[in-house]
Amino acid sequence: MGTLKLRRRRTALAAGLATLAMAAGVAVVPAQAVDRTRYVALGDSYAAGLGAGPYLDGCYRSENSYSELATHTKTIKLVANAACSGKTTQDVVDTQLKRLNRATGLVTITAGGNNLRFAEILASCGAAIVNPAADPLCEAASAYAEDQISSHKLAGDVTAMIQRVKAAAPNANVVVTGYPYLYDPVAPGQTDSMSRFIYKATHLADGLNGSIAAAARATGAEYVDVRAAFAGHGVNSAAPWINLHRWAPASPENFHPNAKGYEAYFASLSEAKAYAAP
């Protein structure tokens, strides 16, 4: 009788241990989500997703931004897309870093274009194409941007931003992206007003990207160049990935990527292994 009771106790104990083992096995499944890299996206309209819609708020954060596309991977947990349209590098520091902490594993940043007042350049120089009276405004806006680049002020501003990001997220991989050419570059030597405008836009984009790349090198961040990914898809191409709504010249979507463009951003970041498992 005593032997039978002992066997029953052992059987019950084994059954209890089996139940615990099964429960532990079930618990492993949601625990895998903890291993995903906690990701925060920072920056301006190009990080927010302006141009691709639909929009989630007044910052023009889009469901088609490159950070939202990363949520479909098995390695990333998007904590927040904190980017907001119109922001400069200092705005990023002042308003977006609160989403960062020691648990943050990845930070991407697209910022610097607004430091050059790029929207003002596009508006004034675009107007100058059809109205020579706008030339002085175009030249003044371009000269401001040139000075920000040549004086290394822009590179310094981006460097300071990255340093603050690294301090707020000391364990994160910090990746900064560049900007695409808005227009596919045209052959040199053209003298028409449209070609001169494209030369100017291309030159300033090179200076902008060069400044961001220099800041990344100075801080140990990773720089991802997207110009090659957009090649053949500028505003002046047959299949543009940059918006220009000619029927709505004041649209905020103008000169921002469309959904295909943000897919190109995502592809560039993926190719650089920004979204790879740690």
Measured CA to CA, the distance from residue 273 to residue 268 in angstroms comes to 9
- Is 203 tagged catalytic? no
Residues in the chain: 278
Measured CA to CA, the distance from residue 230 to residue 248 in angstroms comes to 23
Residue 78: both structure tokens together: 């998007």
Scored b (16 or more CB within 10 A) or e, 100-122 reads beeebbbbbbbbbbbbbbbbbbb
Dihedral sign for Cα 159, 163, 168, 171, please: positive
Q: Which residues, other chains included, contact 165 with Cβ-Cβ below 8 Å and sequence gap of 6+?
A: 42, 92, 97, 100, 107, 109, 172, 174
- Is 65 tagged catalytic? no
Measured CA to CA, the distance from residue 2 to residue 33 in angstroms comes to 48
Catalytic residue among 62, 142, 256, 268: 256
How many Cβ atoms sit within 10 Å of the Cβ of residue 238? 6
Catalytic residue among 45, 62, 67, 124: 45
How many Cβ atoms sit within 10 Å of the Cβ of residue 244? 19
Active site members:
45, 256
